[in-house]
Structure 1
């Protein structure tokens, strides 16, 4: 049993949308295939992965650094102790040979992308859905029913309040009970009008979360907090720079509702620092670490250990990214749910074709691996890469 190749291609996921910090007109993503010599059900096992939106493709790092470390490793050194499957932890260690501590940055995205493909291959070799495999490995009971929310509400040329309301109504019609919109890309008065328009549209059918994408300094974050606290929001997300833990801690004095952050932290050490110094409250706040941006599931397991040691429940984790990898982690390891992009970043966002949102939840299909084969537009792109 061996890995024959690791293949990467950088694909565009461009869109004219923008949040408070960036536009997506030149956004790219890395698509990776881990090709093995194993066959299951008459087909060669190939694991697939990609990085989350908001970070660019990592083709250079993958092709020039991490791919070769896997392919040059002794084949047996990448297998589990039983010798009947690949071992993601050993493959992760091979990728991280000769890497200094810290300096997480873009390499965490490259490793996380390959790691996703490795876990997809491992679950396919085991002939099980990944969420079932994770539950077995960690001695917990899988729960295939996962909470999901609809992320949208981006700034868009010519998008008026009517278009924003229609977008949110569309999410409700598809079964979502929590929707999210961007703030901080306009002045506070305009954002307040946008928020009130959405709240009027959704009424008591759903809750609204708002996301500043790290845009605010302390003064602006406080001004928004004073405005936002009059509304029954699901959360106030990523208020300031993700590494400004002092700002995050200060916000608890001005915003009594739930806050959320963590999507731009890339290691278990970052997560530990957030919980030590960021003033996050385990009874109401949410952690949004995204395995595809932070060295993959191998590292995410360390992150879950960190949050448990800090007295947090995995139920307070709702990962960023809207991808099926985090859905499997949520179902297999008991997270609080997952982000969803019903319309954006296709074909990478969304669920397998048979999956529907009902009362804010989806039920995981019993597909082997991560389940990419169940999403027809995505698997066609993936298989073209492996071929």
Structure 2
């Protein structure tokens, strides 16, 4: 078998929302299709991938470096021992040919997007859901198809008031979520606390709030927020400072004893390891948000999970950023703690296959081959156009 063609399309996912650092008015992502010569039901097997929101589309890097390397490689160098399927690890090694170590920025997003499409392809050729394939190859053999999800929202936008914020959070609760998230750091501390209080008014017993600063704060501000947030029973206090400021994260633990979360903007196993070594993260309560679609893909994520095990962390402390079905499959197949969800934003790329409902904070993954994109009609319409 061989890869016949790899296509990329940069598409807009623009919105008027903003967090503490960026607005999304010009946000894009890359949609990728990997077309093979393997036939199923009279059609070639095609794997799809896309990068998570918050990082722009990476079509130029893909077209100039990573796609040509795969298409120029000997087909036998990209397949597994059976010769009937792709080997994601060999594909990954080929994409990284002639790349220096370090510099884990936009390159990791480009490779992570293609890697998603490769895994989708591999699972489809096997005729299995990706979560089942992962459980068999790297897990305990049996996946846990029931995955915790939380609703990410609470962005700043023009005309937002407390009632609209409350209505947004009620809508998530009404759809079955038990944990919701709100952005902080885009207003004053006093205003953010008023917004938090407004949300707390609509939450009931067993329902919790996360807050996310998107790396906005210096140490002094992060501590001020930590002290103020300590009055609430939050699910977590997320990414207070720059993602690479491990000292800030480490110092903050002395001022905030409740759970914290970070990691969505660390794009390699090495950076994740430095967070664990130097960031003061606590494996009994804190959460790790590494997103495979932004950090070189699942091949690298498997290395990150191995590293966490070596440092005494459980995969169950990982709840990836991104809100996409790839991480849902990883969570079900490898025992992660859950996944982010965007009930209304960044569509059609966020969300679940049609018919999947949130029940008491959990979703149950359906039995669909690959990542399951074909089960989400609005998303698959865009993918099918790319591969036609």
Which interval holds the TM-score relative to the shorter structure?
Answer: over 0.9
CA contact (8 A) 2:139 2:334 kept: no
> 2:16 maps to what in 1?
16
Matches within 5 A, 1:44-123: 44-123=44-123
CA contact (8 A) 1:221 1:240 kept: yes
- Equivalent residue of 2:215, what SS? coil
**C-alpha distance in 2, partners of 1:245/1:32?**
34
Larger mean Cα displacement after TM superposition, 135-144 or 55-64:
135-144
Deviation at 1:139, TM superposition (A): 4.3
Matches within 5 A, 1:29-44: 29-44=29-44
Deviation at 1:202, TM superposition (A): 1.1
CA contact (8 A) 1:355 1:364 kept: yes
**C-alpha distance in 2, partners of 1:311/1:183?**
31
Matches within 5 A, 1:109-258: 109-140=109-140, 141-258=142-259
**C-alpha distance in 2, partners of 1:343/1:51?**
18
> 1:5 maps to what in 2?
5
> 2:291 maps to what in 1?
290
Gapped regions of structure 1 (runs ≥ 5): none
> 2:325 maps to what in 1?
324
- Equivalent residue of 1:169, what SS? helix
CA contact (8 A) 1:172 1:205 kept: no
What's the C-alpha RMSD, in Å, of the aligned pairs? Answer: 0.6
2:367 is the counterpart of 1:366:
yes
- Equivalent residue of 1:219, what SS? helix
CA contact (8 A) 2:134 2:333 kept: yes
Deviation at 1:41, TM superposition (A): 2.7
**C-alpha distance in 2, partners of 1:273/1:375?**
37
Runs of 4 or more, structure 1, over 6 Å off, are none
**C-alpha distance in 1, partners of 2:44/2:158?**
45
Deviation readout 1:328-355 (Å, 9 max, x if unpaired):
0000000000000000000001000110
Larger mean Cα displacement after TM superposition, 5-14 or 36-45:
36-45
Deviation readout 1:80-139 (Å, 9 max, x if unpaired):
012121100000000000000001110000000000000000000000000000011114
**C-alpha distance in 2, partners of 1:104/1:244?**
15
Deviation readout 1:277-331 (Å, 9 max, x if unpaired):
0000000000000000000000000000111111000000000000000000000
Q: How many residues align?
A: 387
**C-alpha distance in 2, partners of 1:17/1:41?**
43
Deviation readout 1:344-369 (Å, 9 max, x if unpaired):
00000100011000000000000000
- Equivalent residue of 1:292, what SS? coil
Gapped regions of structure 2 (runs ≥ 5): none
CA contact (8 A) 1:146 1:362 kept: yes
Deviation readout 1:29-81 (Å, 9 max, x if unpaired):
00000000111133210000000000000000001110000000000110001
CA contact (8 A) 2:139 2:333 kept: no
**C-alpha distance in 2, partners of 1:112/1:237?**
23
**C-alpha distance in 2, partners of 1:93/1:60?**
20
Deviation at 1:203, TM superposition (A): 2.7
Are residues 163 and 139 of structure 1, via their aligned partners in 2, closer, same or farther at CA, if it must alter by over 3 Å?
Answer: closer
TM-score, length basis structure 1: 0.99
